[in-house]
Amino acid sequence: MRTGIGYDIHRLVEGRKLILGGFEIVFERGLAGHSDADVLAHSICDALLGAACLGDIGTHFPDSDPAFRGISSMELLSNVMALVRERGYQVVNVDSVVLAERPKLAPFISKIRNRLAGVLGIGTGSVSIKAKTCEGLDAIGRGEAIAAQSVVLISLGQGK
């Protein structure tokens, strides 16, 4: 068994889609970034890479590489899963916190969990996603950014 932790933050800007956990959420702004800027997917990627001691998302998918421009972060997560599986690991569970002042994420949580569970190859009951505001404090609290933190557990499995 090995654990990993991941964190990411992206700026909220006009003229971008808001994508969280591979799911598009209708909102007046979206997250700025080289890819689709899915902070939740990015934090899970980093947690998985951390658990397997495989570096971080920036080393595998550098934002200087045009190949990753506008790419779906669920595709990056699939690629990370392939690396983790190559090392013989399978995911046990994921627990994430999304820090966003707005929009309210509660209506989307179960869809996001389903989507992530599919890519991670585990049941929805092993993917926990929680949403928090920052009580009006700091850049997230002022609505300037959305952040995500994730912890994963992986184990050496068979046949994966």
Question: Where does this chain touch Mg ion (CB under 5 A) — which range of 1-9, 17-25, 96-104, 144-152?
Answer: 1-9
Joined tokens for residue 41:
């997917």
Of 59 and 158, the one with the shorter C-beta distance to Mg ion is: 59
Q: Where are the beta strands (DSSP E) in the chain?
A: 2-13, 18-20, 23-25, 30-31, 89-99, 127-132, 145-156
Of 8 and 101, the one with the shorter C-beta distance to Mg ion is: 8
Query: What residue number has its CB nearest to Mg ion?
Result: 42
Cα 98 to Cα 113: distance, rounded to the nearest angstrom: 12
Q: Provide the mask over 23-62, with x wherever binding to Mg ion is found by CB under 5 A and - wherever it is not.
A: -------------------x--------------------
How much is the CA Rg of the chain, to the nearest whole Å?
15
Window 59 to 98, contacts with Mg ion (CB under 5 A): none
Of 42 and 115, the one with the shorter C-beta distance to Mg ion is: 42
Contact criterion met (CB below 8 Å) for 96 and 40: yes
Of 5 and 156, the one with the shorter C-beta distance to Mg ion is: 5
> Is residue 8 part of the contact set for Mg ion (CB under 5 A)?
yes
Torsional sign, CA 25, 146, 144, 71: negative
> Which residues bind to Mg ion, rule: CB under 5 A?
8, 42
